[in-house]
Amino acid sequence: MEICRRKMARMVLNGLLAGAASALICFAQKAPASHAAGKSAAHGSSAGHASAQVTPAQKVVLKVGDAKVTQAEVDALIGSLSPQIQRSVETQGRKPVGDEYAMMVLLSQKAQSEHMEASPEFQRRIAFEKLQLLAQEEYQKIATGIQVSPDEINTYYNAHKSEFPEEAEVRQFVVRKKAADAKAGDPGLSSAEAKTRLAAIQKAVEAGTDLKQVAKQFDVPNTVMVSPEPVTVRKGEMIPALDSAVFELKPNQFSDPVDTPQAVVLLQLLTRHQPEVKEVSGQIENELKQQKLRATMDDIKAKANIWMDPEYFKAAEAPAEPQGEPGEAPAAPSQP
């Protein structure tokens, strides 16, 4: 249990460092104000507002010396962590977050007392992080505002149908091949035995036997796999031998057994079709949004007054090719 707690604490610390540095900087800068706000709230309470409900923005859940951290601040920080760490927080509680947050605030206070934030390097890092955060916020705002209409999706689909390969619904029957150095009792069959077994399966299916019954009759764990449920495959996503076997078939036709290094595979084509626009509309929408976003970025850049020192930002030179006959070592430079 203690090992799990420590592991969780390390995950939280890494997440805090990676995703919440700016929040901690803001907290360190406004800690005295939070303290003052706490005093004001306490004063208000003594003036007759004790019965008012305390909001998350007012409720103090962590104190480090004179610094106070509210529930809203911790909730916002947890929300900025990765989904994996958030799930860990949900299952293990917020205690590791509090431990690591308190330690980071404590170290931050110590660094402030040593005036580390006044160093040029620290100020440079803060300025660059601010630059990054502002750029990310503006980029996200622009990306969120980009819209794609149904007409644009249809137009793109009609002009790029070849980019959406055919899809096929197939049944697959697989027999694992026995390795060349297999020992007695190892799973698998020889290539010839596998093809014989697949021929029997094909005969049963063609005779109209229910697929669940075929699976029950022929399936052998870790050797013969009969899947009653069909799968959907896209042209070009399988190995070439299986791909050509599927997309040369007619509906309900079986392929010849395909002998691969690990198994022998029999395929039955059920249906084959070109994806309709509704099936790929999400993919098209994402592509068009990316195109519009790139165009917007290019337009912003073109309208800006950007100058780069051509000498400092020049492209890297390609390495010189060695001279001489093929296989001959380059000549040594002559001595002055």
pLDDT at residue number 37: 41
CA dist., res. 33 & res. 36, Å (int): 5
pLDDT in tens, 75-120: 998 998 889 989 989 988 999 899 998 998 999 999 999 999 999 9
Question: Is the pLDDT at 157 greater than 80, yes or no?
Answer: yes
Helix, strand, coil percentages, rounded to 5, for the chain? 55, 15, 30
d(CA 267, CA 288) in angstroms, rounded, equals: 36
- For the stretch 19-77, pLDDT in tens is 444 444 444 344 443 443 444 444 444 444 544 688 988 999 999 999 999 999 999 98
Is residue 197 over pLDDT 60? yes
The residues, ordered by sequence, that sit 6+ positions from 56 with a Cβ below 8 Å of its Cβ are 70, 71, 72, 75
Predicted confidence band at 233 (pLDDT cuts at 50, 70, 90)? very high
Q: Is the pLDDT of residue 10 over 80?
A: no
pLDDT at 42: 43
Q: Is the pLDDT of residue 174 over 80?
A: yes
* Neighbouring-strand partners of residue 248: none
Does residue 182 register a pLDDT over 90? no
pLDDT at residue 7 in the model = 52
- In angstroms, rounded to a whole number, what is the distance separating the alpha carbons of residues 86 and 12? 9
User: Among residues of the chain, what percentage have pLDDT more than 90?
Assistant: 62
Helix axes 2-19, 21-44, angle to 10 degrees: 100
Supply the pLDDT for residue 252. Answer: 93
pTM > 0.85: yes or no: no
Fold of 165-273: Chitinase A; domain 3 (3.10.50)
Over residues 246-274, the pLDDT tens digits come to 999 999 999 999 999 999 999 999 999 98
Instruction: Give the CA diameter of the chain.
Output: 96
Percent of the chain at pLDDT above 70? 80
Q: What pLDDT score was predicted for residue 15?
A: 55
Q: Give me the residue label for tokens 């030179």.
A: 317
- Has residue 200 got a pLDDT over 70? yes
Q: What is the DSSP letter of 94?
A: S
pLDDT of 322 reads 66
Given a cut of 60, whether residue 237 has pLDDT beyond it is yes
Sorted by where each begins, the domain ranges of the chain are 2-41+56-114, 165-273
SS3 327: coil
CA atoms within a 13 Å half-sphere pointing along the CA-CB vector of 254? 16
Going along the chain, which residue ranges are E strands? 60-64, 67-70, 167-176, 224-226, 231-234, 258-259, 263-273
100/126 Cα distance (integer angstroms): 22
Listed residue (57, 78, 60, 58) closest to 68, CA to CA: 60
